[in-house]
């Protein structure tokens, strides 16, 4: 809706005009005509304001101010003030509206409309307003915060958009960086704008390659016994990763390429198949073959396959021969040679005689300390016979 901004100007102008008129009518008179602040003298025989203005080539519109009124009489030496209306298509912080004003300049119009001199205007404040419409953008100062590169800035700005603010500050946003608000979005009071710096790098890392195990049956070894013919050796591989960083912190890591630098050496294990004569085990003692069967079942329950069980067999063959009553002068006891043996009570009260209790405790100990039976067996070999 259009509205006329006059700010009480009509009353002030009328008071000045009334004070300047004379009290008698003349046929031929001189009248002072002030149009938009510009003063001139008009010689006329007309008596009414509308006739005098028409004779001077002016015709008041609905948004113009004329004082005295168009129907009023003017005498010799009288004064007529005429201010013409200007249409402003205003955009104030993104809100659009049309306003009529009789102000001759942008500065006067801003003052009439109540805007501060600190507000941004798209047209110079010194410019005179034309009689036609004028597009005028007004931006009032807003406080925003900008977070980037490890710091937070609080700013007062009249910029219209996020992009204009960044350009004025000389802050660049890289092609991979993340901006919390679109560049073209309008700035709002109290807005928090965050720039996250994103970088991608190719990073190389080395990792071990587990060795495979080859099992060879042997009729010369008792069934269940194993013998390492060729010790395995882990290999080495170089992996190239694509690593994504946000503000210096790793947020993504994807393997791109793997190159084997050192091929692992397979481990060759001889597995006995010779059946031993059946003899009765001492009362209360579980035969080694039965203990190994329990061990295989419990190891499989942990997700350990034949390669890991092979390492377990070798480890406990050397430690106890898989005997539940194997005792060492040091105090180590049972199949896993727990030191002291009473530690195995955590797995069951019958730890002194029950193979399943001893093996359950032993596998838990290996998993917690070495990760896998092969890890424990490697340590046993490296440390000269203990783990």
pLDDT 10s per residue in the chain (387 long)?
344 444 344 444 444 444 444 344 447 899 999 999 899 999 999 999 999 999 999 999 999 999 999 999 999 999 999 999 999 999 888 788 999 999 889 989 989 888 888 888 989 999 999 988 999 988 888 899 999 999 999 999 988 899 999 999 999 999 999 999 999 998 888 999 999 999 999 999 999 999 999 988 888 887 778 888 998 899 999 999 999 999 999 999 999 999 999 999 999 988 888 765 544 444 445 566 688 999 999 999 999 999 999 999 999 999 999 999 998 888 889 999 998 999 999 998 899 999 999 999 999 999 999 999 999 999 988 887 888
The pairing of strands 65-67 and 142-148 is unpaired
pLDDT of residue 386: 83
Token pair belonging to 309: 């069980």
Q: Indicate the residue among 253, 273, 293 that finishes a domain.
A: 273
Q: Are residues 132 and 175 in the same domain?
A: no
Judgement on whether residues 359 and 303 belong to the same structural domain of the protein: yes
What whole-number distance in Å separates Cα of residue 338 and Cα of residue 342? Answer: 8
**Cα separations in angstroms, 149 against 152, 197, 229, 304:** 8, 7, 60, 49
**Measuring CA to CA, how many Å separate 244 from each of 195, 196, 247, 250, 252?**
16, 12, 10, 6, 5
Asked if residue 258 and residue 222 are part of one domain, the reply reads yes
293 shares a domain with 216: no
Number of domains in the chain: 5
The structure tokens listed for 134 are 């004028």
- Domain of residue 247, residue span: 200-273
pLDDT of the residue at 287: 65
Helix (H) or strand (E) holding 294: helix 288-301
Could you tell me if 10 and 51 lie in one domain? yes
Residues 375, 292 share a domain: yes
> Is the domain of 294 the same as that of 317?
yes
Residue 93: C-alpha distances to residues 139, 140, 157, 229, 254 (Å): 5, 7, 12, 84, 46
Quickly tell me which residue has 């896998």 as its tokens: 372
Burial level of 148, CB count in 10 A (0-12/13-18/19+)?
Answer: buried
Examine the domain organization and report whether 382 and 291 are in the same domain.
yes
Q: Quick one: 367 and 315 in the same domain? A: yes
Q: How far apart are the first and last CA of the chain?
A: 91
In this prediction, residue 289 carries a pLDDT of 66
Give me the CATH number covering residue 238: 2.20.230.10
Domain final residue pick, 159, 174, 196 = 196
Residues 287 and 387 in one domain: yes
Q: Which of 219, 248, 273 is the last residue of a domain?
A: 273
């Amino acid at each position: 809706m259009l509205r006329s901004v006059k700010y009480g100007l009509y009353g002030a102008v009328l008071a000045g005009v009334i004070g300047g008129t004379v009290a008698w009518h003349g046929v031929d008179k001189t009248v002072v005509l002030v149009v938009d602040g510009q003063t001139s003298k008009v010689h006329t025989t007309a008596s009414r304001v509308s006739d005098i203005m028409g004779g001077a080539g002016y015709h008041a519109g609905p948004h113009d101010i004329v004082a005295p009124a168009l129907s009023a009489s003017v005498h010799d030496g009288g004064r007529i003030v005429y201010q013409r209306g200007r249409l402003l298509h205003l955009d104030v912080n993104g809100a659009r509206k049309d306003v009529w004003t009789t102000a001759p300049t942008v500065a006067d119009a801003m003052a009439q409309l109540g805007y501060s001199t600190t507000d941004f205007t798209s047209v110079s404040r010194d410019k005179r307003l034309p009689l036609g419409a004028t597009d005028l953008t007004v931006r009032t100062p807003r406080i925003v915060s900008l977070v980037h590169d490890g710091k937070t800035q609080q700013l007062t700005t009249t910029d219209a958009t996020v992009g204009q603010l960044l350009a004025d500050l000389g802050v660049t946003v890289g092609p991979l960086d993340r901006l919390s608000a679109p560049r073209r979005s309008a700035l709002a009071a109290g807005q928090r704008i965050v720039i996250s710096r994103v970088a991608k790098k190719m990073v190389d890392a080395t990792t071990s390659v587990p060795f495979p195990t080859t099992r060879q049956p042997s009729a010369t070894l008792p069934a269940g016994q194993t013998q390492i013919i060729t010790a395995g050796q882990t290999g080495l591989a170089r992996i190239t990763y694509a690593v994504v960083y946000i503000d210096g912190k790793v947020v993504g890591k994807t393997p791109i390429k793997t190159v084997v630098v050192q091929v692992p050496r397979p481990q060759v294990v001889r597995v006995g198949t010779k059946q031993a004569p059946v003899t009765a085990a001492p009362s209360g003692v579980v035969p080694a073959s039965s203990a190994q069967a329990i061990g295989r079942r419990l190891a499989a329950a942990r997700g350990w396959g034949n390669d890991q069980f092979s390492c377990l067999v070798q480890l406990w063959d050397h430690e106890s021969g898989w005997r539940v009553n194997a005792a060492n002068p040091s105090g180590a006891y049972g199949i896993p040679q727990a030191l002291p043996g009473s530690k195995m009570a955590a797995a069951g009260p019958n730890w002194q005689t029950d193979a399943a209790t001893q093996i359950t405790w032993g596998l838990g100990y290996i998993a917690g300390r070495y990760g896998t039976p092969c890890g424990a067996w490697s340590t046993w070999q490296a440390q000269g016979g203990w783990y």
